[in-house]
Every structure is written in structure tokens, then in C-alpha cells.
Amino acid sequence: MSSTKVIYQIQGKESEVTLEQGVTLLEGALIHRLNPTYSCLEGICSQCEATIISGEVEVIPGFETEDHPKKVKTCQTFPKSSPVIVKYNLD
Ligand code: FES
């Protein structure tokens, strides 16, 4: 699969975009100017955490969040199925 449909829910707004393979969920939100929260881009700060509402994702090994399997650091996560629905928890 060379591209994936991702639906972002950020600050009560829903946006559907297409991401090329190898683009993280956070990068996709930044490319499309959706104003996600983030800081380090390296999997350390957890500012980019979001909830996977549906769909499959691939988390870079070592950055899995064990307590909440559906909660991920989006700077370390790639969409795997199409579509993926991801919600940033700002509200
Ligand atoms: S931006 Fe810091 S953990 Fe993702």
C-alpha cells in the first residue's frame, strides 16, 4: 500500500487526508496544517499522544504505550490500514 487515508479529529474538527507510506501520524497532521500538539518529535515528551479510534497502526518498537494500547505517540506511529481514525485529546 503506497498511501493511506487518515481521519484526524483535532479540537472538535474532523479532517480526512491521504498520507504517503512512511509518514507518521504526527507528520501527516503537520503537513496538512491541522495544529496537533507536539514538541520533541522523538517519542520523549508525550505531547503528541492521541487515541486510535479505529484502524490499524504500527508503532516503532520501544515506543508502545502498554497501559493504553489504543493510545499512541503519534510521532512514532504509522497508519497501517486505511482508513485510520485518530483523535487528539485536547478537549
Ligand atoms: S512529539 Fe514528543 S513524544 Fe511525540
Residue 13: which CATH number?
A: 3.10.20.30
* Top mutation candidate among 25, 57, 71, 73 for ligand 1, by most atoms within 8 Å of CB: 73
Q: How is residue 78 written as a grid cell?
A: 504509522
Give the residue, out of 27, 41, 88, 89, with the most ligand 1 atoms within 8 A of its beta carbon, to mutate for a pocket test: 41
| φ, ψ (nearest 5 deg) of residue 75 | -75, -10
What is the CA(55)–ligand 1 centre distance, in A?
21
Number of domains in the chain: 1
pLDDT of the chain, 91 residues: tens digit per residue: 589 999 999 998 999 999 999 999 999 999 999 999 999 999 999 999 999 999 999 999 999 887 666 899 999 999 999 999 999 976 5
pTM for this model (two decimals): 0.93
Q: Look at residue 66 in the predicted model and tell me its pLDDT.
A: 73
Predicted local confidence at residue 1, as pLDDT: 55
Domain extent, residue 42, equals 3-88
> How far is the centre of ligand 1, averaged over its atoms, from the C-alpha of 76 (Å)?
8
From its phi and psi, is residue 34 left (phi > 0), alpha (psi between -120 and 50) or beta?
A: alpha
